Chain A
Amino acid sequence: MAAESDIVIEARDLHVSFTVQKQGIKSIKSFLLSMGFQSPFEKKPVLKGVNLKVKKGECLAVMGRNGCGKSTLLRAVAGIMTPTSGSLEVKGRVAPLMTLGVGFEMELTGRENIELVGTLMGFTKDQLQDSINNIILFSELTDAEIDMQMKRYSSGMISRLAFSIAAANTPDVLIVDEALAVGDLGFREKCAERIKQIKSEGTTIMYVSHHLDEIKNICTRAIFMEEGVVTAEGSVDEICEYYTHHVKPTSTELHG
């Protein structure tokens, strides 16, 4: 057993809910009539008591069907969503790689966007100055391209730049949400290499993907989620097996 100090992410009975409007104009009317005392919102629970421990340097695969709460779990760990109850402790700087290309302004140049998105991701001015050359180098964009408005970029170029910014610094915790299905084959391999490199520097990783090969290649442990709770936990091979059995049957129903 690892010492307690090695635990980087720990969730105990973690609940996270969405706030959604009650449907229809009636609810707004009753909200206004009650002078704001009757809430027009209701809570829709997404995570319903997740227990989880991730050790330093581990790479945890989070698997499960669409809508089971994988992304919400990652958002909670990244501090983007706040728990409604239970506890969640995360040690160190978290870099979320949720959706590539978020925060880009297409009217601005690639270089301007590095500053914008880098700052959104929490880089200081010095950190940005230090890493801007590496970012441009890793993205494989030419000098002319980097000073071009991003609306002239192809979608592959946008993804390459986005990944390069996100992966420029080695964070304590890296969160990857199906973000790597981008770019051409060469760049995807390069991304996988960079993630392995980040891992080898001691970063803890949480990884969501539906590509079993990718998971087997990168991850060291896996969990399986269903309807907002963790239902299975184990080695990558075990959970991949479990996943295949659990997810396949419904997809064959469609044909049958």
Chain B
Amino acid sequence: MSVFKDPSRFTRLVVVLGIKNLKLKYKNSIFGFLWGMFNPIIYLVIFSFVFGNMFSEIDRYPLYVLSGLLLWTLFTTTSVQIIESITRNTGVIKSVSIPNIALPLGGLYSSIVSFLLMLIPFSVMMAIFGMRIGWEILLFVPLVVLFSIFTFGVSLILTAFNVYFRDVQIAWASFMPAIFYATPIAYTPEIIPEKFRIIIQLNPIHHYVSFLRDLIYYNRMPDAFSWLVVVAISVVSMWAGMTIFNKLKGGFISQF
């Protein structure tokens, strides 16, 4: 099966794989996707209690944190879901002729569906903590699309290297908390000393988070430069991900 010769069959393959991931995730659980909500709530509670007084100058602090957690949750669930998509399906790679990219795409599909479901409790919480809705909210859709493209590119790189060196998966699990604290989710970039602020600027996730904050926290249109930055990061990430994945996929079967 080829992606380009048979697009409808390929799309269906991705959807079926995505639905399988969702079923496996929630099959034997009672509360299903609500557990995905649990983690951000814990973070929210911790930050509100621990940092709430420290950041009392931040208006509507829980909303500020939630807007960051929203994208962070999408980033972690997607990368964790995709990183094992090849190594967990060695039999499929060895025995069936499908485009390998269908497996990570199936992971992306299921993470996005989970994310859409999580938007419901997230919006309720954000409404409680004083979110105001303006026309800017319409830009939420393109932002999520761009952020998913960025996340998918990063995940493809991790997935491809993870086939050869399983250390990648272990290292990624250890690195994620570090990336979390290196992203201004629970704090504002301004509290970072001037000379270290470059680290924040080099963190791609920060740019998406601040774009989202423009939309739902500051209620203003992101400026042209913000647009340029998020589009550029998404394009570069996707390009790098596809290039590396395509270069390494030929050797996947030799590893199983």
Chain A positions near chain B (C-beta within 8 angstroms): 18-21, 28, 41, 44, 75, 78-82, 94, 96, 98-99, 101-103, 105, 107-108, 112, 115-116, 119-122, 124-125
Contact = CB atoms under 8 A, between A and B. Distances in A.
Contacts of A78: 97
**By CB atoms of chain A within 10 A, which of B8, B97, B164 has the most?**
B97
B24 A103 contact: no
A103 B23 contact: no
Interface string B79-107: 00000000001011111111000000000
Contacts, number: 78
A105 B93 CA distance: 15
A99 B91 contact: yes
A28 B161 CA distance: 12
Nearest to A113: B20
Given A82-B250, A122-B1, A116 B20 contact: yes
Contacts of B24: 105, 107-108
Interface residues of B, number: 27
B253 interface: yes
A19 B255 CA distance: 8
B250 A102 contact: no
B166 interface: no
Contacts of B1: 122
8 contacts: A41-B251, A99-B95, A103-B89, A103-B91, A103-B95, A119-B17, A121-B96, A122-B9
Nearest to B16: A119
A103 B93 CA distance: 9
Nearest to A99: B95
A124 B96 contact: no
Contacts of A18: 251, 253-254
A18 to B, nearest CB: 4
A249 to B, nearest CB: 31
Given A98-B95, A99-B91, A119-B17, 15 more contacts: A18-B253, A19-B251, A19-B254, A21-B164, A78-B97, A80-B96, A82-B250, A94-B97, A96-B97, A98-B96, A105-B24, A107-B23, A108-B23, A112-B23, A124-B8
A102 B91 contact: yes
B28 interface: yes
Nearest to A125: B12
Nearest to B252: A19
Q: Which A-B residue pairs are the 10 nearest by beta carbons?
A: A19-B251, A98-B95, A18-B254, A102-B91, A79-B97, A102-B95, A119-B16, A19-B254, A120-B96, A80-B97
A124 B95 contact: no
B77 to A, nearest CB: 19
Contacts of A96: 95-97
A120 B94 contact: no
B94 A80 contact: yes
B9 A103 contact: no
B195 interface: no
Nearest to B2: A79
Contacts of B91: 99, 101-103
A81 B256 CA distance: 13
Interface in B218-256: 250-251, 253-254
B6 to A, nearest CB: 9
A120 B92 contact: yes
B27 A107 contact: yes
B94 to A, nearest CB: 7
